């Protein structure tokens, strides 16, 4: 059984993540210093290094939060594309500043590949496609579907008057499945 993280640790990590988001709106991850991050978060550098080795590890933890959520949404709603996409869009909308930084490739240009390489997504799409496709055809179709959906979600996230998560999920699911 997984041990639940202490509340103080959770709060400290959340403060660091929120502070990093604020800094990333101003500058590139490569120009972020641990000193600046800790000063803005009003934390000791020793505290930072207790949990993370660098600003890149902190960013990776933030990305993993989303990837883990997405994997769970796929697992919990297997076979229902609308529910999966709705859950992902609701998560992104509730974490809008981070979502925009990640999805727009402002922080980690490899992030779309990290999403597309989630094995559970590949398995789910594979089980919902005709099994008469060749491996090559599936690979092209998979990339078309995942990167296309990724770009649509990027456009959706950047709109001021966005559709509801369920609406964009239905549009995407209908496009992907038809």
pTM over 0.75: yes
Q: What's the average pLDDT block by block, 10 residues per block, for the chain (178 residues)?
A: 75 96 93 96 96 96 94 88 92 93 85 91 79 84 90 94 94 84
CATH code at 4? 1.10.10
**Quick one: 43 and 120 in the same domain?**
no
Instruction: Tell me which residue range forms the domain holding 67.
Output: 62-177
Which one, of 13, 32, 30, lies nearest residue 22 by Cα? 32
Whether 68 contacts 126, CB under 8 Å: no
Question: From residue 117, how far is each of 39, 43, 108, 123 by CA, in Å?
Answer: 36, 35, 15, 11
């Amino acid at each position: 059984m997984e041990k639940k993280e202490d509340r103080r640790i959770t709060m400290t990590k959340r403060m660091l993540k929120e502070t990093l988001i604020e800094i990333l709106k101003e500058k590139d991850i490569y120009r972020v210093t641990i000193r600046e991050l800790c000063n803005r978060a009003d934390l000791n550098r020793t505290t930072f290094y207790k949990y993370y080795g660098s600003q890149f590890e902190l960013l990776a933890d933030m990305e993993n939060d989303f990837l883990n959520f997405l994997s769970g949404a796929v697992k919990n709603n297997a076979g229902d594309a609308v529910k999966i996409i709705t859950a992902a869009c609701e998560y992104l909308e509730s974490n809008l500043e981070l979502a925009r930084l990640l999805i727009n490739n402002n922080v980690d240009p490899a992030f779309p590949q990290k999403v597309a390489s989630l094995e559970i997504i590949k398995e789910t799409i594979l089980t919902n496609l005709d099994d008469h496709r060749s491996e090559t055809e599936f690979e092209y179709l998979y990339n078309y579907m995942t990167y296309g959906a990724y770009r649509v979600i990027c456009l959706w996230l950047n709109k001021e008057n966005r559709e509801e998560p369920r609406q964009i999920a239905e549009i995407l699911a209908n496009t992907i499945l038809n």
